[in-house]
Amino acid sequence: MDLKIKGSYSMTDRIYLSSPHMSDEGYEMQYIKEAFDTNWIAPLGPNVNEFEKELADKVGSKHAAALSSGTAAIHMALKAAGVGEGDIVFCQSLTFSATANPIIYQNATPVFIDSDYETWNMDPNALEDAFEKYPNVKAVLVVHLYGLSADMDRIMEICNKHNVVVIEDAAESLGTLYKGKYTGTFGEYGVFSFNGNKIITTSGGGMLVSNNEEKIKKVRFWVTQARDQARHYQHSELGYNYRMSNIVAGIGRGQLKVLDQRVAKKRYIFEFYKRKLDGLDGIQFMPVNEWDEPNCWLTCITLNGKVSPLDIMEALEKENIESRPIWKPMHLQPFFEKYDYIGGDVSQKLFEKGVCLPSDTKMTDGDLGRVCEIIKNLW
């Protein structure tokens, strides 16, 4: 795939949903060069240590562990929370499968929770209903979908009442603020992703943040194959090969320097689409609440008129422009449909009626205008 990293698109280039965007200043290369110059080409090193500190400082968490993916970070958060065989974990249904898969890695049982229209994220009322049905729960996995924050005050209040660990999947919401505080820092554990399509990328990678120093130290031990402190290779616990490399962490450090720029551009893209398309019959934009300052990772709409999501996706695809449906809820997935689900049909309706519009930070006003014209021509 010929993926341009810098600059903007021409009329013939493919416009991506959300692709890597390296800094114009070349920050990433500086840290990569430093790693090469000092021969730190390993899953440890100065970039890993500094990236952990810098990311934790940015979001206001005390400690962080740099890992190979956001999925690995969720897995380790569940393990650190003591989730094991037969334990119940409440998990938002409207999400990508990487949120739910680690529950199965731990041989635990997911119970999926519906979303609400106000946030598109976990419905606090459905969460309360779930606790009535399942009083003994080990953890709650809440997602901040597309950079929109969940209703964290209510969710934390409910979970604290039941004395249950909250893990925030903030893979899509780095830079999002809920009432002035960064998502990923409300629960016991927060998870970020640096996959290639995220607001900043390390090509692949993730970060687990927590104020619990002992737990983060333990995670670092587990993710480096759980090798005991002995002269010989000794292992008293199951380990994992989940540590981030020093090269990848160097990319992350450079990307973190432009995070605020990327958030500003993502919000600009959302406002541009809203200004141009909001009047079309049947279109509704994803909800931005007064307490929410979203990073607008992807601009999403729902359609309740004559034009369908497929109409928009096919019209854009003909012009070499990428878009995609809203996530298919976990409780509707063939692998997960055997597990219990609490709630109504909100997540299903959002999936059926929703579209993610191209939200690439390299898009120009011309690119955005072109997308809008293609969509308008369907009405």
Closest-CA residue to 281 (of 304, 255, 248) = 304
User: What pLDDT shows up at residue 1?
Assistant: 37
Task: Tell me if domain 27-256 and domain 259-376 are identical in fold.
Answer: no
User: What pLDDT shows up at residue 12?
Assistant: 58
pTM: 0.95
User: What pLDDT shows up at residue 5?
Assistant: 43
Site of tokens 């249904």: 93
CB neighbour list of residue 162: distance below 8 Å, 6 or more residues apart: 131, 135, 137
Q: Mean pLDDT of residues grouped by 10 in the chain (379 residues)?
A: 45 87 97 95 93 98 98 98 98 98 98 98 98 98 98 98 98 98 98 97 97 98 94 95 97 98 98 96 96 97 97 98 98 98 98 98 98 97
Longest C-alpha distance within the chain, in Å? 71
Q: Where are the domains of the chain?
A: 27-256, 259-376
Superfamily of domain 259-376, CATH level 4:
Aspartate Aminotransferase, domain 1 (3.90.1150.10)
Q: Hey, what CATH topology would domain 27-256 get?
A: Aspartate Aminotransferase; domain 2 (3.40.640)
Tell me the C-alpha distance between 276 and 372, whole Å: 7
Beta strands 63-67; 206-210: pairing state:
antiparallel
- Asked if 66 and 205 count as a contact pair (C-beta separation under 8 A), the reply is yes
